[in-house]
Amino acid sequence: MTDTLDIKITKIAASRLAETDFSNLPFGKVFADHMFMADYADGEWKNFEILPYGPISLSPAISALHYGQSFFEGIKAYKHADGKVSIFRPDKNAIRFNKSADRLCMPQLPEELFVQTIAALVDIDREWIPGKANHALYIRPFMFATDPYLGVTPSATYKYMVLIGPVGPYFSKPLRVKVETHYTRAAEGGMGYAKAAGNYGASMLPARKAAEEGFDQLIWTDAKEHKYIEEMGAANAMFLLDGVLVTAEAKDTILDGVTRDTVIALAKDWGIPVEERKVSVAELVEGAKNGKLTDAFGAGTAATIASVASISYDSEEYFLSDPATREFSKKVLTTLDDIKYGRSEDTHGWNYMV
Ligand SMILES: *Cc1c(COP(=O)(O)O)cnc(C)c1O
């Protein structure tokens, strides 16, 4: 791909920016003026277009609706104090985008194209990026099947789109989480490693049941024995156990999170041992009891670093240390924020400048 990407641009007649309440930004409900759209047909990507955000017209027979050929990504862009804008590690999301596409028999999108189209859209709506602490522009790239055909077979046509919108903090307080030992998010051989739309539809009933019991989030366990920790809602579960950062290995039931990878890189920078391995519920419960579980959090782009207040298992609730006193996750959060908002040197080259 060259840098002369040919995108047709139709600007909105009147920006909605002035009438948008930036002091009230519920996650995923506020969209910027423009969106990106492209079509896949005849074996190639075409019709690159940036246009005003709004409804699009589709056949009700598209296989995305009937058979779930649909997946997405989640990325954030940040505004620095000097007005510069950066996108956090979009190259990683580009790779994962294609892993998801592959699992769902959907076409690959060249990585440069993914990054360039996102950057072009963010650039057009850069005024929409909040300058406030804990705020960002959320970027939602997605692809779905558009053949108007009810046969259970991969579609020949697809749309790739990108929506963007300003967001504030996702969780407002430390989370009471429940270890799920009945429902399963992903099984070996399944599609847990893909950001497939269907994975999230399947998670809603167990999440609702947990919410009815008063919990904020679930911790998923392995499908076979329900003994090992997998993920926390739509974030990777990470723990500091006896001074070691432990998290589930990013195999086929685990979404290989960019935040997870970033936290691991920081821990290694700081000389903290990291173990990507099977993490049993039993050792966490033991750690909660004997005080060796000194940190626990969900790591994800939307949630950032979401502290776990308590872990419930088998009708027993284990409270952890006060999140305000946790050195590791606090240091991760400040270090990450300093890099994302351009306050400290980006030694890993994580910021993609727009
Ligand atoms: C998106 C997601 C994550 C977090 O990934 P990031 O790249 O850090 O945003 C973790 N688990 C699941 C199931 C997810 O959908």
Centroid of ligand 1 to alpha carbon of 66 (angstroms):
24
**Is the CB of 255 within 6 Å of ligand 1?**
yes
DSSP string for 179-224: E-SS--S--TTSSTTS-BHHHHHHHHHHHHHHHHTT-SEEEEE-TT
What pairing do the DSSP bridges indicate for beta strands 75-79 and 136-145? antiparallel
* CA atoms of 299 and 305, how far apart (whole Å): 5
Closest C-alpha residue for ligand 1 atom 14: 234
Residue 25 identity (one-letter amino acid): L
Residue 61 identity (one-letter amino acid): A
Per the CB < 8 A criterion, the answer to whether 122 and 354 are in contact is: yes
User: For 175-340, CATH number?
Assistant: 3.20.10.10
Centroid of ligand 1 to alpha carbon of 302 (angstroms):
8
Atom of ligand 1 nearest to the CA of 298: 10
Extended strands (E) in the chain: 8-9, 34-41, 44-52, 70-72, 75-79, 85-88, 136-145, 158-167, 175-179, 217-221, 229-232, 235-241, 244-247, 274-276, 293-300, 304-313, 316-319, 351-353
**Is the CB of 73 within 6 Å of ligand 1?**
no
The CATH number of domain 8-169 is 1.10.3720.10: no
Q: Report pLDDT for 2.
A: 47
- Terminal C-alpha separation, the chain: 18
**Domain boundaries in the chain?**
8-169, 175-340
Q: Report pLDDT for 5.
A: 82
For residue 309, what are its two tokens?
């207040």
Closest C-alpha residue for ligand 1 atom 13: 234
Q: Report pLDDT for 91.
A: 98
Query: How many residues are present in the chain?
Result: 354
Q: Report pLDDT for 3.
A: 56
**Is the CB of 177 within 6 Å of ligand 1?**
no
Atom of ligand 1 nearest to the CA of 259: 8
Atom of ligand 1 nearest to the CA of 185: 13
Sequence-distant (6+) residues with CB within 8 A of 95 are 111
What pairing do the DSSP bridges indicate for beta strands 8-9 and 44-52? parallel
**Residue 224, φ and ψ in degrees, nearest 5:** -80, -50
Tokens 């999108």 identify what position? 109
**Is the CB of 236 within 6 Å of ligand 1?**
yes
Per the CB < 8 A criterion, the answer to whether 126 and 354 are in contact is: yes
The model carries a pTM of 0.97
* CA atoms of 170 and 347, how far apart (whole Å): 27
* CA atoms of 47 and 55, how far apart (whole Å): 17
- Angstrom CA distances, 249 to 4, 15, 256, 274, 298, stand at 39, 45, 9, 11, 15
Return the bridge partners of 41, or none. Answer: 44
Per-residue pLDDT of the chain in tens (354 residues, 90 and over written 9): 445 689 999 999 999 999 999 999 999 999 999 999 999 999 999 999 999 999 999 999 999 999 999 999 999 999 999 999 999 999 999 999 999 999 999 999 999 999 999 999 999 999 999 999 999 999 999 999 999 999 999 999 999 999 999 999 888 899 999 999 999 999 999 999 999 999 999 999 999 999 999 999 999 999 999 999 999 999 999 999 999 999 999 999 999 999 999 999 999 999 999 999 999 999 999 999 999 999 999 999 998 999 999 999 999 999 999 999 999 999 999 999 999 999 999 999 999 999
